[in-house]
Structure 1
Amino acid sequence: MSAAKVVSENYSIDKKIELDQLDPLFEVNENVTSEIFDRPNEELQFEEISPKIFGLKDVSEPLTIESLNNAIYELGVINLCWPEINEPVFETRTCFPKSYFINTNKERLLLAYAENFRRQFQFHYRSRRPLILQAPNECGLQKMVCTSIRPTKLCYSDTTSWQGLSSLVSDYFDYEPLRKPMLLPERIISAYTAIVRRSGNPFELAHVLVSWLIGAGYDAYVVVGCAKRDVCMAIRYRTVCPEIPDESAVIDTPPPSEEEPRYRLVPLPDLTSKYCKDMDQKEAEKQQAELNKIESERLKKIAELEKPPPDEIDGWRTHAWVLVLPGFKGVEEPFFIEPSEGNGYPISAPQYQQLDSIYNNENYYVNLKSCAEGLGSLNYDLNELTCWEHLLAGEPFHRRQLVGIDCADKKTAFDTEKHLDVPTSWIEKLDITADEYEQRYPGSHKVIRYKKVLSEKFSPYSERDGVIKRIIIYEDYALSIPLLTYEWYKNRVDKMLTVKIDHLKREVRETFGIGRKDHLLKHIYSMDAPTTSVEGERTLEFNYYARLDHLTKLVCTGLTFDEYYTDREDRLETRFITYTEGNKFDPKRQVKDIIETYNRNPDIPSKDDIWKKIFHTQENTIEILYHYDYNFVTNNTRFFIKPNLAETGGKILFYPDKTTGYIADPCTKPPRPLDVYYALCDNMESEHHSRKHIRDRESDITGYLKQRECELNEPILFVGLFDTERNDAAKKGWQEQETQKAEVTEREKDAEIDPLAPYLARMFGSGHGAGALTVKEATLVREQCLNDFRAKQLARQNLVQERFDKLNAEYKNKRLWYLANQFILTPEKESAYFALSAELAFQVHTLEVRLTRHRDLSSPRFKALEDYLDKHPLLKEFNRLRHYYRMK
């Protein structure tokens, strides 16, 4: 470190050393601004041990080993003596790789280099906080922090982005604040051990996240600095929950037309008084200003009461987080990631107060600029040496700025240079299994308390109803009066995805995925509605495209029943049913009116195209309205009084005095009485079908509500076919297949096939033992075996040859027949010939290949059989005698 860079910064350290009891946190109810509640206790209350390095030391105290070790720890001194560690133990882990408790020569050289760097930095910047260049690991061995980062690429779909990785880290680990908040961490365990423990301090979580981010292709660094108390202690009940769904309606307004119309109406003159208009506007602005002032005072008072309690060591709390620099994976601006939360923040985020240094697996960089104006004022170009001091001289390859040098030459120079670089990480690969990734949360459950919000997260299949996330929004800070509840579900047989419960409106909204038999997509109902009755207030939305009746939505109330359709062939749009109120004599509601509306059919005239049918069932009348014709302000109508079928014996009689109509076009001839009679018959039949449809629809909805009650009371979770851990049927079948396969393999090993077994059984029966045969018996058995093998091979060859000749002749005959008749064949016969010819050609080729293969393998197979018989133990005498004569 050159003397030119001796520009030390003045950091105020005149702070109290004794940590007094923190003031209680007060909260306010927004609805009652004058009411003040006691805030809940701070989360994660850890004993914070004040450092002695920032206080006055009593020189009269005797110097002990303990006090000396404490001073070494507070100053961050690197111990250059490496004691021998045998059989290290950390919590429940006893088996460690050798790299965990033994430093290599290069690691020792790097530690010595870092200690020299620390001394020079402390000499030039005496008022700066000690640098964290090393920390003991779980085995008690000092390790350089850069070597504690092990880049690892995870193989899961959502671990390719920083959002997925940061969310995984925040969900997977339990956060442990530092016990000594102003000093360096007492130990930094390996990222692998942190994954096994499912918990870690901010440095350990940052190491895990940076390792995974670098493995995913990001330029990520661990940041060492200071942050506010809420961040260091993972206190979130003063933070707005970032996971609340945004349900604000998105209105797509069409862009204004660029072409002005050729003709436009002249606007009417504005006769209103401008003076009155100005006075009204001033009065409205005055009232709005008063309202804004009251609201601003209310929000200011709430913000004042919601402020965290005073922190005696504010600005000195040591913390570690993650910095992502641009240049890779589409990152354009640098930003921070808080590992304990899983959220990204801009570099000007106010919760981060001081940045001392950053590092990754390639180098260590010390910030030389003041952070008095915030971290957003820093220059994050690491090549700017006036802003960043580098521990190692050798830069990573992607940061080299060698102008005018070929890339290949630059790479060669990088590979052959002699600068000291960071050795390979001593940590094991940071992989997690599929089961651990799916479980995700420690204990399969995680609870986070935000400002007036309680967030619960569950692992898949950990809950009986399949819920994976629940967010409850409360009215008060004590989380006692719920307002809204959001629930997300997964792997349910009933395809339910989300549930929203509005406790004020007492309304429940359920959404479903594609795949239900009834094709339901959304179900909205009142919490006070009857569970299995259609007379309660509820709305059901369907996937009309998959339904035969193209039903889109059902809206039920106590006295109405509305149906909405889309793209029906009969052009039915809606059907509205109103009911009469029940009384003590007839408690069941009765259908009062049925209103059906239809789309315009362009194939028929509008005067004959029905727009609306109104069936007054209580009044025994039918009202028909037709579509409006072009340039008409009225439409045709027709009114019927239905005849009493009981009086007419079930026949529909037409009475001209019981029907009236209106014709919009006076030039049109009135309809014939026969046409009116046919219209009456059709509409009476349509009314009958509509009433029957209503009864059937009510029965269907009642059945659906009973089914939903069973699905909610006894939920069933879907298990994937390839999930062998939970699919008991598939797991049992797979185990049975493995058992059968193992039994067959074992049986084949135990019972080796003997080609001489049939001949021995034919000659001696089943009483032949394991003794050797005589020369005569062996000669007979051997010749029979070889002759049968020759005969079988020849028979197989003849059979294949016969089939080949037969099919080849048939193929040639078909070919000759086609050449002779190709000009008189119909397209159907020609297509049939080509299909048959292709099939015959394939069969001929197959037999030809089989015949060739049989001829090529016959001799090797015969030779293999002879070799086997020459070594057979039962033919030992014969083989010995033959070998004797052959040698003689």
Structure 2
Amino acid sequence: MASSSVTTSRASRLQAFLRSPDIPASFYTNTTTDDNVLAVAKQFDILYQKYFPDRKPLFLSPNNECQRPKMICSFVRPTSLPYDQLFDLEGCCQFVADYMRYEPLHDPSVYDDEYDDTVEQLPLQIVSPATALDWQIGNCFEMSLVLASFLIGANFNAYVVVGAATKAVCLSDQRNIMWEGELPKEVNSDDEVEDNLPKNNPYVPLIPEKLTLRLTTDPDPEQISMTDSVTLSLADYAKADDIPNVRGGTVSPIHSWVIVLPGGRRSLSKAVFVEPSTGQLIPLSASDNHYTSIEALFNHQDYYVNMRPEAPVSYLSPDLADGSQWESLFSYANPSDDELDSLAGTLSATRRAFVSDLAATMAAATISMGEASDSSRGRRMYIPNLWSNELTLSRQQYESRYPAGYKEITYVNAVVRRYAPYSQSDYRILEVIVPDAEYTELNETHVLYAHRADKLRRTSVFPSPAPQSSCKKESSILSSNSSLSLAKAPGGPRKIVEWYEKGRMHNTAVEGLREFIYEPGKQRIMKFYWRARRDGLYCRTELLYDANTLRKVKEFYKGRSDRLWYRSFTFGRPSTVRERNIHNLILHGPGSSSALREYPRLDPVRISQKFLRDESVSARKDVAKTTFLRPASEAKSSGNNAIPSMGEMWVFFHYDAGSILRPYHMFAKPSSSVEEYIAASATGKPIEPPVRVVALPGEEPPSALDLYNERKWLSAVEAACLMEQRVKSDECMDIIKAIEQDHNKVQPVLSAYDTLRNRPKETEAERARKLAEAARLEESRKDYLAPYIAKLETPADFDGNYLGVRLSVDQAKQVRDEALQELKDRLIQRGRIMQSRMDKEKEEFNKRQQLYRKNCDASALEGDKDTEAFALYCKEATWRMKVLDERLLQHIDHASDKYNQLAQRLAEDPRLSALYNPDPS
């Protein structure tokens, strides 16, 4: 009903409620206690209007759903539900604001006229908190009642406030308010220190902060206790007489919200306002920006009237015991003459007359209700609040969170969309649209996910400055499941960033993808959880010539035993259609060509590796960088004329301390072109590749054998780099393919404790059939003939239903005889048990009596102790024998009746009809 109630009008919802046959009688009737409370409230209102005719009317007895007047305090129904969030102040307030949809008291157009006093009228009818919670929609009073009921149930000292507020607050218009939330701060994988603490760790607040040492000359920090804070508030309020009326000449729209005062949970030390439509906590010092005045506040126990409504809200005293500020409605404690004299300096003559008349009226009401005993003095009147239904929330309703699972809020700087878990096909839970940092006229979109099997937790889409309507961009972002397909679309975003949680797997191995950054036409970056990978790769950057051509690949490593920290592969521009297709396939994935046996290869024209310093080796012999260049013939085929005529292998060593020079060796490689091979074969002299050796001054050059070994080592390193390049390229394409598949078909992750979604899906008819089958089997197990029928030979297709079996004459006779014989045996056995107990009791009595007679003379000498004990035993034994005798006689009388009843039941049992009602044919 809640989902349909959100979209229907209030009148339609009330009509549907009144048509319900389950309305309790308390909704349209009042008890004697209810009438007494209403009478007291009416007397208070009469006196209030008499002494303060210029004040607004009090909100005391509105009508409920059935147009029955109820005391407003009885609408508050303190409730404690078994959900952790409802026991926290911020969590409870935010849940009510999210779960219910706000409905203004009046039509929004009425608030535009600042002289229309319609917005000052109190509602004549409000619904109970249970009904509002079931509808998931309500006005400010109804949402405040629901919130106060939950807060009081969680042991907070909460009150519903009746007053006036600004137009934006009354309409819950946040379009002129800055979004105070913030997106999660992402930690880059290339940072030296990573945050290993789990998110939402409950033990983090228990870790003590690092103490700061203070000098003896430093002043002590100021500490304000709760008593001091109340005193300061009273001191500030003392200046309120000098403050002009804040109402002005315009009207003040009526509104309701919640105030939470100290005195409940220890975690709250200062009073705070709560706006139910947004869940925002507003301190008293900042309340004037939201609320203009307070008329009264109430909870389930009392109703307090603000006697100085002209003062600003921030100057009001939070102490309800302050008689100069608040007047209680249901307090039976009459002020004494001393108290009136003490207040004479602060109360006006009108106020003193009102208090005196109110005390007399309350005393008369007490006498008329018969509660004038001494025990009732000094306590408040009982306010019945059990007329309304209990506030209930099932686990499914609690997790649905928002009306229809979705809620959108528009701020001046952002549009925030919140979704219930598992309500969307891509399992998004939050979407934030904010102005772009580079192009302020465009908006960037940030989407947060949860419970996804691919571990995706956030996607950020940054718009392209290409001319395109914002509506079209936003709709494409919402409709596209894959960010990669969104980037391929014409006029797509300029940048897409995706963040993943730990534990992402690929082919039973840890893939470790942490962050995926794609800038179409510029670069593509993959960052990894390098501690989870065997090779220590933490970043892979692919630079592009254009959107379809790969230029360079950079790989960064950490924590490797070979001290490798950088590797890069440079590719030339494609010169043929085949090469262009290979580039396009590598960048965009196989797409629909998922039947490829192996991915295409791209040979780099340049390979570079860089290594960290090894302190155990001399810097002149410690390799810092290796570079491999392809021969010129291969470079020409790639269209790159900057490559030398022969392939080269370079090895650079580390710098010495304080040196600006470092040694390096260059080994040329013979070209692999066919023309040069034929020329060398014709001359019969192989071309010896040249070698360039640059050594530091004073250092001997390496020998020919060392250079030969070094050349072989470099050739092996080059082959290993090419093999590693192919492995990493295949892994990159696998990741792109997996991301595409995961986005197109999102799989959820369900907790083992999620009983709502782990339940197998079945229709209502199937579930009803299973319940009926279980009930039938349970009834069959309780069948009185089941033990006897089970002894018979049953057919192979017997389903265990003993109630529907049909027996032959011989089988029926066997079942009947066994049932009657077993009952007869039980009755006889029970009679024998009673008789044995009777005989045992008589035997014990005779033994005690003979023992008493033998010791009769000694008992006379000792006194009457044994005589009194024997008399008490005789009394108890006689009573036990009498009870046993009566039970035995009763058993004998009823035994024949039970036997006859079973015989009659067997004769009427349809399963034995073959014995009692044989077929005449």
Report the TM-score, using the length of structure 1 for normalisation.
0.61
| Residue of structure 1 equivalent to 2:178 | 240
SS of 2:665's equivalent in the other structure is strand
Percent identical pairs in the alignment equals 26
| Residue of structure 2 equivalent to 1:593 | 606
| Residue of structure 1 equivalent to 2:300 | 361
Q: Is the 8 A contact 1:88 1:94 kept in 2?
A: no
Opposite residue 572 of structure 2, the aligned amino acid is T
Residue 97 (structure 1) aligned with residue 24 (structure 2): yes
Q: Within 5 A, what are the aligned runs for 1:720-869? A: 720-721=751-752, 723=754, 725-727=756-758, 729=760, 745=778, 748-749=781-782, 752-754=786-788, 757=791, 768-771=810-813
Residue 697 (structure 1) aligned with residue 685 (structure 2): no
Residue 557 (structure 1) aligned with residue 588 (structure 2): no
User: For residues 757 and 696 of structure 1, do their structure 2 counterparts lie closer, same or farther at Cα, with a shift above 3 Å needed?
Assistant: closer
Q: Within 5 A, what are the aligned runs for 1:10-159? A: 90-159=17-86
Q: Is the 8 A contact 2:668 2:689 kept in 1?
A: no
Opposite residue 670 of structure 2, the aligned amino acid is N
Opposite residue 103 of structure 2, the aligned amino acid is E
| Residue of structure 2 equivalent to 1:521 | 514
Opposite residue 317 of structure 1, the aligned amino acid is P
Aligned counterpart in structure 2 of residue 632 of structure 1, from 653, 658, 670:
658
Residue 580 (structure 1) aligned with residue 613 (structure 2): no
| Residue of structure 2 equivalent to 1:538 | 524
Measure, in 1, the Cα distance between the counterparts of 2:145 and 2:134: 14
Residue 331 (structure 1) aligned with residue 268 (structure 2): yes
Q: Is the 8 A contact 1:174 1:200 kept in 2?
A: yes
Measure, in 2, the Cα distance between the counterparts of 1:774 and 1:131: 79
Q: Is the 8 A contact 2:307 2:326 kept in 1?
A: yes
Opposite residue 438 of structure 1, the aligned amino acid is E
Measure, in 2, the Cα distance between the counterparts of 1:681 and 1:127: 103
Q: Is the 8 A contact 2:406 2:417 kept in 1?
A: yes
SS of 2:141's equivalent in the other structure is helix
Aligned counterpart in structure 2 of residue 495 of structure 1, from 455, 479, 498:
455
Measure, in 1, the Cα distance between the counterparts of 2:278 and 2:791: 75
Aligned counterpart in structure 1 of residue 416 of structure 2, from 440, 455, 466:
455
User: For residues 446 and 566 of structure 1, do their structure 2 counterparts lie closer, same or farther at Cα, with a shift above 3 Å needed?
Assistant: same
Q: Which moved more, 1:199-208 or 1:345-354?
A: 345-354
Opposite residue 491 of structure 1, the aligned amino acid is H
Q: Is the 8 A contact 2:455 2:502 kept in 1?
A: yes
User: How far is the alpha carbon of 1:440 from its aligned partner?
Assistant: 2.0
Residue 683 (structure 1) aligned with residue 714 (structure 2): yes
Q: Is the 8 A contact 2:662 2:696 kept in 1?
A: yes
User: For residues 249 and 367 of structure 1, do their structure 2 counterparts lie closer, same or farther at Cα, with a shift above 3 Å needed?
Assistant: farther
SS of 2:321's equivalent in the other structure is coil
**1:22-51: CA deviations, max 9, x gaps?**
xxxxxxxxxxxxxxxxxxxxxx9x99xxxx
Measure, in 2, the Cα distance between the counterparts of 1:94 and 1:734: 26
User: For residues 752 and 475 of structure 1, do their structure 2 counterparts lie closer, same or farther at Cα, with a shift above 3 Å needed?
Assistant: same
| Residue of structure 1 equivalent to 2:918 | none
Measure, in 2, the Cα distance between the counterparts of 1:463 and 1:756: 53
Structure 1: gaps spanning 5 or more residues: 1-43, 48-86, 259-310, 396-412, 530-535, 760-765, 784-870, 877-888
Measure, in 2, the Cα distance between the counterparts of 1:489 and 1:88: 40
Q: Is the 8 A contact 1:149 1:425 kept in 2?
A: no
SS of 1:207's equivalent in the other structure is helix
Measure, in 1, the Cα distance between the counterparts of 2:74 and 2:248: 34
| Residue of structure 1 equivalent to 2:257 | 321
User: How far is the alpha carbon of 1:192 from its aligned partner?
Assistant: 0.3
| Residue of structure 2 equivalent to 1:345 | 282
User: How far is the alpha carbon of 1:148 from its aligned partner?
Assistant: 0.8
SS of 2:70's equivalent in the other structure is strand
| Residue of structure 2 equivalent to 1:483 | 443
Q: Is the 8 A contact 2:128 2:142 kept in 1?
A: yes
Structure 2: gaps spanning 5 or more residues: 1-6, 107-117, 194-209, 214-246, 334-373, 466-493, 506-510, 545-550, 584-601, 632-643, 794-807, 826-897, 904-921
SS of 1:557's equivalent in the other structure is strand
User: For residues 108 and 635 of structure 1, do their structure 2 counterparts lie closer, same or farther at Cα, with a shift above 3 Å needed?
Assistant: farther
| Residue of structure 1 equivalent to 2:640 | none
| Residue of structure 1 equivalent to 2:151 | 213
Opposite residue 301 of structure 2, the aligned amino acid is E
| Residue of structure 1 equivalent to 2:384 | 423
Q: Is the 8 A contact 2:570 2:607 kept in 1?
A: yes
Aligned counterpart in structure 1 of residue 742 of structure 2, from 697, 711, 721:
711
Measure, in 1, the Cα distance between the counterparts of 2:30 and 2:454: 57
| Residue of structure 2 equivalent to 1:195 | 133
SS of 2:120's equivalent in the other structure is coil
User: How far is the alpha carbon of 1:512 from its aligned partner?
Assistant: 1.6
User: For residues 466 and 480 of structure 1, do their structure 2 counterparts lie closer, same or farther at Cα, with a shift above 3 Å needed?
Assistant: farther
Residue 170 (structure 1) aligned with residue 97 (structure 2): yes
**1:58-101: CA deviations, max 9, x gaps?**
xxxxxxxxxxxxxxxxxxxxxxxxxxxxx997455442223322
Measure, in 2, the Cα distance between the counterparts of 1:357 and 1:468: 39
User: How far is the alpha carbon of 1:592 from its aligned partner?
Assistant: 3.0
Measure, in 2, the Cα distance between the counterparts of 1:679 and 1:385: 96
Q: Is the 8 A contact 2:669 2:689 kept in 1?
A: no
**1:466-511: CA deviations, max 9, x gaps?**
22222223589xx996411111222322222111111147211111
User: How far is the alpha carbon of 1:769 from its aligned partner?
Assistant: 3.9
**1:728-762: CA deviations, max 9, x gaps?**
65779999998997786566456734599599xxx
SS of 1:96's equivalent in the other structure is coil
**1:298-334: CA deviations, max 9, x gaps?**
xxxxxxxxxxxxx998452100011122342412322
SS of 1:134's equivalent in the other structure is coil
Q: Is the 8 A contact 2:162 2:257 kept in 1?
A: yes
Opposite residue 388 of structure 2, the aligned amino acid is I
SS of 2:90's equivalent in the other structure is helix
**1:753-791: CA deviations, max 9, x gaps?**
4599599xxxxxx9954447999xx99xx99xxxxxxxx
Q: Within 5 A, what are the aligned runs for 1:587-666? A: 587=580, 590-618=603-631, 619=644, 620-629=647-656, 631-634=657-660, 636-644=662-670, 658-663=691-696, 666=698
Measure, in 1, the Cα distance between the counterparts of 2:497 and 2:816: 92
SS of 2:55's equivalent in the other structure is coil
Measure, in 2, the Cα distance between the counterparts of 1:446 and 1:342: 14
Residue 509 (structure 1) aligned with residue 497 (structure 2): yes
Question: Which of the two has greater helix per residue?
Answer: 2
Report the TM-score, using the length of structure 2 for normalisation.
0.59
Measure, in 1, the Cα distance between the counterparts of 2:130 and 2:327: 30
**1:356-397: CA deviations, max 9, x gaps?**
11111222112223544x3111211112221111122269xx
SS of 2:786's equivalent in the other structure is coil
Opposite residue 786 of structure 2, the aligned amino acid is E
Measure, in 2, the Cα distance between the counterparts of 1:590 and 1:740: 69
Q: Within 5 A, what are the aligned runs for 1:176-187? A: 176-179=103-106, 180-187=118-125
| Residue of structure 2 equivalent to 1:439 | 400
C-alpha RMSD over aligned residues:
4.5
User: How far is the alpha carbon of 1:182 from its aligned partner?
Assistant: 0.6
Opposite residue 487 of structure 1, the aligned amino acid is V
User: How far is the alpha carbon of 1:225 from its aligned partner?
Assistant: 0.7
| Residue of structure 1 equivalent to 2:593 | none
Measure, in 1, the Cα distance between the counterparts of 2:250 and 2:456: 47
Measure, in 2, the Cα distance between the counterparts of 1:747 and 1:659: 97
Q: Is the 8 A contact 1:607 1:635 kept in 2?
A: no
User: How far is the alpha carbon of 1:516 from its aligned partner?
Assistant: 1.5
User: For residues 117 and 510 of structure 1, do their structure 2 counterparts lie closer, same or farther at Cα, with a shift above 3 Å needed?
Assistant: same
Q: Is the 8 A contact 1:221 1:322 kept in 2?
A: yes
Opposite residue 752 of structure 1, the aligned amino acid is A
Measure, in 2, the Cα distance between the counterparts of 1:544 and 1:176: 51
Measure, in 2, the Cα distance between the counterparts of 1:635 and 1:744: 92
